[in-house]
Amino acid sequence: MSDRAVFSVSASRPAEVRGASRRDTRQGSGGRKKALPWKRVLQVLVSLFLLAGLVASTPWLMNWLNQPIARVEVHAGFEYLSREQVERVLHPHLQERFFALDLNDMQQALLEMPWIKGVSVRRHWPDSVQVSLEEQQPVARWGSKHLISNEGKVFAPDDIAAFSAMPVLDGPDEMAVEVMQQYLAISQLLRPMGLKLTMLKRSSSGSWRFTIGHVEVNIGRDRRMERLQRFVRLYHAKLESRWNQVKRVDLRYLNGASVAWSETLVKARSK
């Protein structure tokens, strides 16, 4: 009888039986507690600890990394520059710390020095700066107050008295490179003859004249190389033996040249 009663309940009230079954299932699954992911928690705690330490130490770390400049290395030939001049220009910029240095400002300040042609400025951690300088190489004076480099760059040092023995080149400033090139070409032509330019000038109209010691040579504006070759032939044929008596040579003729002799020679002939 008890068996039927259990069976009956089971058959006539199926919902209650199913509900009991679900409750039993939940109770069974809830009885097993999940373990906490302690490894993951530990990793997060360690990361937070390290981050907090990094944040707390950032001012000290940055102060240690960003040190004052203790040493400046300057690499240059110092053929015309002096170390004192370079130091005076760099000094105001070196008051900043390592990372605050404005390398572009330092480079521009150095390039404003007349004798400096090229500059390279680099940081070298932790506390030094390396500066490399390339100096201008003057080959002649430009006018009365300037010098000109072997690349045709005109620059103006404070004092050019030490370069008084150099030849003088002159002309419009925008033609400086052409004047330099012409100077080099004429010098190369005259060198085998033992002659040396002391002055070369290009006029605003494009006419050229130069001096060799006491002699002025005018080649005009056209067919310059042809006229220079004519001068070389004239020198070897007629002028070399009497060079001290020549005053001026004018080559602005189609096929010839005129020669002006010194006053001493004219007086000697008139007698």
- pLDDT tens figures, 201-249: 999 999 999 999 999 999 999 999 999 999 999 999 999 999 999 999 9
Alpha-carbon torsion, ordered 235, 236, 239, 242, to 10 deg? 140
What lies within 8 Å, CB to CB, of 233 at 6+ separation is none
Residue 265: HSE in the Cβ half-sphere, 13 Å Cα cutoff? 10
195 to each of 174, 186, 191, 224, how far by Cα in Å? 28, 10, 6, 18
User: Is the pTM value of this prediction over 0.85?
Assistant: no
The class that CATH gives domain 71-135 is alpha beta
**Paired tokens of 107:** 């480079």
What lies within 8 Å, CB to CB, of 261 at 6+ separation is 245, 246, 247
138-270 homologous superfamily: Cell division protein FtsQ/DivIB (3.40.50.11690)
Annotated domain spans of the chain: 71-135, 138-270
Confidence class for position 193, pLDDT limits 50, 70, 90: very high
pLDDT over 80 at 264, yes or no: no
pLDDT over 60 at 68, yes or no: yes
For the stretch 88-115, pLDDT in tens is 999 999 998 888 899 999 999 999 999 9
The neighbour count for residue 228, using CB atoms within 10 Å, is 19
Confidence class for position 37, pLDDT limits 50, 70, 90: confident
Confidence class for position 125, pLDDT limits 50, 70, 90: confident
What lies within 8 Å, CB to CB, of 208 at 6+ separation is 182, 200, 201, 202, 218, 219, 220, 221, 224
Average pLDDT estimate for 35-43: 68
Q: How far apart are CA 153 and CA 199, in angstroms?
A: 17
Percent of the chain whose predicted confidence (pLDDT) is above 90: 65
